[in-house]
Amino acid sequence: MKKNTLILYIVFALLLCLFLGLRMCDNAKMPEPSPQPTAAVATLPPTPEPTPQTEFVLSFAGDTTLGSLVEWQGSTAGDFQSTVGQDYGYPLKNVKSVFAADDFTMVNLEGTLTKSSSAVSKKYRFKGDPAYAKILSEGGVEAVALSNNHAGDLKDTGRADTKAAVEAEGIRWADYDTPLIYQLPNGPRLGIVNYNTVEDERGESVWRADIERNIRYCREQQCDFIIGFMHWGSVEYLEQAEKWAYQLGHDMVDWGCNLIVGGHAHILQPMETYNGVPIFYSMGNFCYGGHLNPKDKDSVIVSVTLKWENGTAALQSVKPLPCSVSSSSARNDYCPTLYEEGSEGYQRVLKKLKWGE
């Protein structure tokens, strides 16, 4: 009995050794585990510094009346309100390509944006809905000139409402007592002196003192480029500026203006260059709701390119962009439209400006 038990122990031990030996052999054949992959670290090139902007384009246009006579207000067939309605993108749609591509656009806002009905007593009073300020923002306009002989047509309430309407759309403004200081992003600081001499009985000596003081203020604010945006002239529809306006324009250059644009005549007048400074005495009407069908529809956008280098702004080029106040020759549809380059209208505008003469 003991002998049989011993034999069983021996057999069991041999089987256990055989089993362990086979396991060791299998383990010997198993490959080593592969190392975990290591993510490659990409070496990116350094981000290049943005190229500083060295050219800035400014656009200026003339008399812009976003409304009509107080007596009309949409009740007269073909007036501004009945034509435009609430289509705020319509009036400037044919020139938006110019205004959207530039760095700064400014027009003369001649009239009021108000719901007030208390108007001054005179022949022509212009008024539009405050919502029409959206025409400016949707059309790519950054600023308006408010010093003109129709800014007060609806008295002080109209003035205040107009400023509030444009401010609500992010539009900046200049007035006779408030030069506009406008900083172009990463570019020059503009100073815009806006002044109206029309229907001002205080006399030329007062105008001159005020304008010179405003130009000096722009210099004190370290403006790199100073623009005079004038509303001047004693008589409308004169084909050439009056002698006193020429003298005032020259003096403004001597006081520090680098460019002068103006209006009030409702037609184009010859421009000139004085001591290297362009002076556009009248840019004519632009988006003008003050007339259902003006006989002379010629207008112009003055496009100015500034060279900005080492903190200094210099006038690089000036280019008139001839246009009409209307896309229709038969009536005023309040939609300024560029003339095709080289066309009869295009050449006619250049001739009226005496461009290149």
Helix, strand, or coil (residue 140):
coil
Q: Sheet of 180-183: strands edge to edge?
A: 180-183, 189-196, 225-231, 259-263, 277-280, 272-274
**Could you tell me whether strands 298-309 and 285-288 are parallel, antiparallel, or unpaired per DSSP bridges?**
unpaired
pLDDT band at 10 (very low <50, low <70, confident <90, very high): low
pLDDT band at 72 (very low <50, low <70, confident <90, very high): very high
pLDDT value for 199: 86
pLDDT value for 187: 97
> CA 339 to CA 324: how far, in whole Å?
7
Q: Which domains are delineated in the chain? A: 55-353 (3.60.21.10)
Q: Which amino acid is at 129?
A: D
Q: Sheet of 126-128: strands edge to edge?
A: 68-69, 126-128, 112-113
Looking at 34-43, 90-99, 178-187, 290-299, which range is the least confident one? 34-43
Answer with the residue of higher pLDDT: 280 or 52.
Answer: 280
pLDDT value for 25: 45
pLDDT value for 19: 53
Specify whether the CB–CB gap between 183 and 136 falls below 8 A: no
Question: What is the number of other CB atoms lying within 10 angstroms of the CB of residue 309?
Answer: 11
> CA 214 to CA 116: how far, in whole Å?
31
Helices within the chain (DSSP H only): 2-29, 80-84, 96-101, 133-139, 155-168, 204-220, 243-255, 344-353
pLDDT value for 202: 87
Answer with the residue of higher pLDDT: 42 or 118.
Answer: 118
**Residue 66: pLDDT above 80?**
yes
pLDDT value for 172: 98
pLDDT value for 77: 95
Structure tokens at 320: 């008139």
Looking at 8-22, 116-130, 131-145, which range is the least confident one? 8-22
Give the distance between the most distant pair of CA atoms in the chain: 147
Counts for the chain of helices (H) and strands (E), in that order: 8, 17
**pTM of this structure:** 0.86
The residues, any chain, with a CB within 8 Å of residue 282's CB and separated by 6 or more, are 62, 233, 241, 262, 263, 264, 265, 266, 267, 268, 269
**Residue 138: pLDDT above 70?**
yes
Structure tokens at 356: 């290149």
Specify whether the CB–CB gap between 188 and 313 falls below 8 A: yes
240-268 confidence digits (pLDDT tens): 999 999 999 999 999 999 999 999 999 99
Sign of CA dihedral 153, 156, 158, 159: positive
Mean pLDDT of the chain: 91
18-65 confidence digits (pLDDT tens): 555 545 444 444 445 444 444 445 566 677 777 889 999 999 999 999
Burial class (CB in 10 A: 0-12, 13-18, 19+), 318: middle
**Residue 213: pLDDT above 80?**
yes
pLDDT value for 27: 47
292-344 confidence digits (pLDDT tens): 999 999 999 999 999 999 999 999 999 999 999 999 999 999 999 999 999 99
Answer with the residue of higher pLDDT: 96 or 5.
Answer: 96
**Residue 4: pLDDT above 70?**
no
> CA 69 to CA 124: how far, in whole Å?
7
Specify whether the CB–CB gap between 297 and 344 falls below 8 A: no
221-244 confidence digits (pLDDT tens): 999 999 999 999 989 999 999 999
What integer is the mean pLDDT of 76-84? 97
